[in-house]
Amino acid sequence: MKVQGNLDMKSNTEADYEAIVVGAGVAGIYQIKRLTDMGMKATVLEADPDLGGTWYNNRYPGARFDSESYTYGYSFSREVLDEWNWKEMFSAQPENLKYLNFVADKFDLRKYMQFNCRVQSAIFDEETELWKIQVSDGRDLTCRILVLALGLLSQPTMPRIEGVEDFKGRSWHTYGWPHEQVDLSNQRVGIIGTGATAIQVIGEIADKVGDLTVFQRRPNWVAPLNNSEISADQMDEIRDRYDEIFETCARTPGGFEHEPDRRGFYEVNQQERYELWDRLYDEPGFSIWLKNFREIFTDEEANAEISAYIAERIRGRVDDPVVAEKLIPKDHGFGVQRVPMETGYLEAYNRDNVHLVDISETPLERVTAAGIRTTEHEFEFDIIIYATGFDAITGSFDHIDIQGRDGMTLREKWFDNPTTFLGMMVSGFPNLLMPSGPQSGSASTNYPRGIENGVDWCTELLEYMWERDLTYLEATEEAEKRWTDHVVKMYSVMLMRKAQSWFTGYNSNVEGHEAGKVRYMVYNGGTPKYVASIGEVASKDYEGIRFAAGAKDSDELLVAD
Ligand code: NAP
């Protein structure tokens, strides 16, 4: 099949597609729209049976945004903004999946998507300068441009404990929650993990199960989500404000409406700080985290004070003081790990049918046929829920055999730490784009705000190439080093560099990712700085990217760094 597109791509090779996008989640949906709008012959390969990514898979009770719904939706289409009505401030998974389907159907994007197509390997052929893609259905496809829209949290990890296969009841990872309705009534349920996912599940199911036992190794700081319904009138008001909303998101570090308090922490007295926190704690969403003083992220003393404040809030909501103390993190301060937002999570522990097992004191020994054994006790369950997190950001890349020039694999290259240019390209891996890769602006921000920037930038880069008949791009080693050094430097001022979280590449269940080694996974400079950086590169004729036209032996190296 000859490559076709209404933009004339000068190429002496044939490929099945000009571009293959891997992943039909939030990023992949927008990316295929932009590419096909350009007239590119492009397709999406998606491992799941349908589109939606995170919102297709995370069907656990309580799964919902913790971004305000109207800041999470795509901003690229006025028609979508006009036609879609959000019903809750923090919309739940079924509605979110409906939304993504609405967008895909509105622009007739399904016709470009192929489901149940897991990409097993992607190998760059230096002769033809095409990517060869091996798909789980047995096909080998080729493309010139490979866009990996794999998501940040799409590689779930099970705990590395013995006996998981032995359990005779029902069990699953939250990412694989059954699609059919699960009747939890009268069930004895055990849940491992107390991250953002477990915190949503526990708050939601505590009053629906017979009995719930929570196995907690490390507590997380939590704050109330303060969700509410959005009335038709409120939705009209939101619609009128969309321009303003997205402008605000663009100027805040996290891509939210929440703007940091720009007064210095030490410029106001403690009483004023506490008054501010009293207000923020009752506001919706990440207010208490992101509308706070910026010093809480960088200054030990400031962080200790907000941590003490939140600890008091926890003590005020949990009846049993022993349980309350167990729920207060001692190994990290408030906000230096991504803060899980909760609805009724702390109050769940005031119920007689909910039990907290501190497995830092009595570690898990194994899963048994009947349940879970700790060093102290054997628990019997009908259902075990593994809310044990993800091999975050790089995990989904590691699970594909990606080979660039000279047989180099991405897995090897990133073994110690990801290295990227702008979080969107990797030296040695030509014609590979990652709109939301490690070290990009998407990983640490309100995701759709981040990926729209990434997808737009990648698309404009391809337009730039097509206009100039360029067929080859590759980040230079120097540019990659510069960016990665910059990302590392950004970590140095943040207290989060010391935290065991997916932002530092921690996952106790993945070999090499255990506590103790920091991986520089996300860009911490905030949305405005990121957008300025990628904009500057574009404005300088994509400084840091090596382009070429034609086949490999072409001596037309048109733009060099
Ligand atoms: P997570 O934050 O990585 O939490 C995993 C939990 O499982 C931790 O409590 C961990 O304990 C525990 N765990 C893992 N292995 C264990 C083992 N072998 N034994 C005992 N405990 C074990 O994962 P997550 O809760 O799925 O959240 C990941 C991210 O997803 C969040 O940070 C957030 O960004 C995103 N998320 C977003 C939303 C939303 O937008 N509304 C909702 C849910 C999740 P340790 O900490 O001790 O390792």
How does pLDDT run across 175-223, given as a tens digit for each residue?
Answer: 999 999 999 999 999 999 999 999 999 999 999 999 999 999 999 999 9
Q: What is the per-residue pLDDT across 435-467, written as a single tens digit (0 to 9) for each? A: 999 999 998 899 999 999 999 999 999 999 999
CA distance 424 to 410: 13
> pLDDT > 70: what percent of the chain?
96
Q: How large is the average pLDDT for residues 294-298? A: 95
Residues 360, 352: contact at Cβ < 8 Å?
Answer: no
**pLDDT score recorded for residue 231:** 98
CA of 336 to the centre of ligand 1 (A): 14
CA of 480 to the centre of ligand 1 (A): 30
**pLDDT score recorded for residue 5:** 44
> Which run of H or E residues covers position 190?
strand 188-192
Q: Which two tokens stand for residue 357?
A: 């097992």
**Model confidence at 3: pLDDT above 50:** no
Q: Which two tokens stand for residue 305?
A: 């004070």
CA of 340 to the centre of ligand 1 (A): 9
Shortest-distance atom of ligand 1 to CA 64: 41
Shortest-distance atom of ligand 1 to CA 153: 30
CA of 199 to the centre of ligand 1 (A): 9
CA distance 17 to 20: 6
pLDDT band at residue 560 using 50, 70 and 90 as cut-offs: very low
Shortest-distance atom of ligand 1 to CA 364: 19
**pLDDT score recorded for residue 91:** 98
pLDDT band at residue 559 using 50, 70 and 90 as cut-offs: very low
CA distance 149 to 147: 6
Residues 440, 454: contact at Cβ < 8 Å?
Answer: yes
Q: How large is the average pLDDT for residues 304-330? A: 98
Residues 287, 67: contact at Cβ < 8 Å?
Answer: no
**Model confidence at 556: pLDDT above 90:** no
CA of 379 to the centre of ligand 1 (A): 22
CA of 7 to the centre of ligand 1 (A): 45
CA of 118 to the centre of ligand 1 (A): 25
CA distance 153 to 156: 7
CA of 63 to the centre of ligand 1 (A): 13
Nearest CA to ligand 1 atom 12: 193
**pLDDT score recorded for residue 443:** 83
Residue with tokens 């402008």: 247
Q: How large is the average pLDDT for residues 297-325? A: 98
**Model confidence at 419: pLDDT above 80:** yes
Q: What is the per-residue pLDDT across 44-69, written as a single tens digit (0 to 9) for each? A: 999 999 999 999 999 999 999 999 99
Nearest CA to ligand 1 atom 25: 195
CA distance 71 to 221: 24
pLDDT band at residue 561 using 50, 70 and 90 as cut-offs: very low
Q: For a substitution probing ligand 1, which of 331, 388, 444 has the most ligand atoms within 8 Å of its CB?
A: 388
Shortest-distance atom of ligand 1 to CA 218: 47
Residues 26, 447: contact at Cβ < 8 Å?
Answer: yes
Nearest CA to ligand 1 atom 46: 218
Q: Which two tokens stand for residue 318?
A: 């949990």
**Model confidence at 557: pLDDT above 60:** no
Q: What is the per-residue pLDDT across 98-146, written as a single tens digit (0 to 9) for each? A: 999 999 999 999 999 999 999 999 999 999 999 999 999 999 999 999 9
**Model confidence at 410: pLDDT above 60:** yes
Residues 385, 174: contact at Cβ < 8 Å?
Answer: yes
Q: How large is the average pLDDT for residues 87-102? A: 98
Nearest CA to ligand 1 atom 35: 196
**Model confidence at 257: pLDDT above 80:** yes
**pLDDT score recorded for residue 79:** 98
CA distance 551 to 126: 9
Nearest CA to ligand 1 atom 36: 196
Q: Which ranges of 45-135 would DSSP assign to H, the alpha helix? A: 54-57, 69-72, 78-83, 93-106
**Model confidence at 482: pLDDT above 70:** yes
Select from 422, 404, 415 the least CA-distant residue to 484: 422
Beta bridge partners of 21: 44, 147
CA of 152 to the centre of ligand 1 (A): 13
Select from 331, 303, 306, 327 the least CA-distant residue to 317: 327
**Model confidence at 555: pLDDT above 50:** no
CA of 200 to the centre of ligand 1 (A): 11
Q: For a substitution probing ligand 1, which of 217, 222, 336 has the most ligand atoms within 8 Å of its CB?
A: 217
Q: How large is the average pLDDT for residues 342-353? A: 98
Strand runs (DSSP E) across 24-118, as ranges? 42-45, 113-114
Q: How large is the average pLDDT for residues 1-16? A: 52
Q: Which two tokens stand for residue 537?
A: 């590169």
Ligand 1 site residues, Cβ closer than 6 angstroms: 64-66, 153, 159-161, 192-198, 200, 217-218, 338, 359, 364, 387-390, 502, 508-509
pTM for the whole structure: 0.95
Nearest CA to ligand 1 atom 28: 389
pLDDT band at residue 558 using 50, 70 and 90 as cut-offs: very low
**pLDDT score recorded for residue 444:** 86
Residues 136, 47: contact at Cβ < 8 Å?
Answer: yes
**pLDDT score recorded for residue 13:** 58
**pLDDT score recorded for residue 345:** 98
Select from 535, 524, 451 the least CA-distant residue to 72: 451
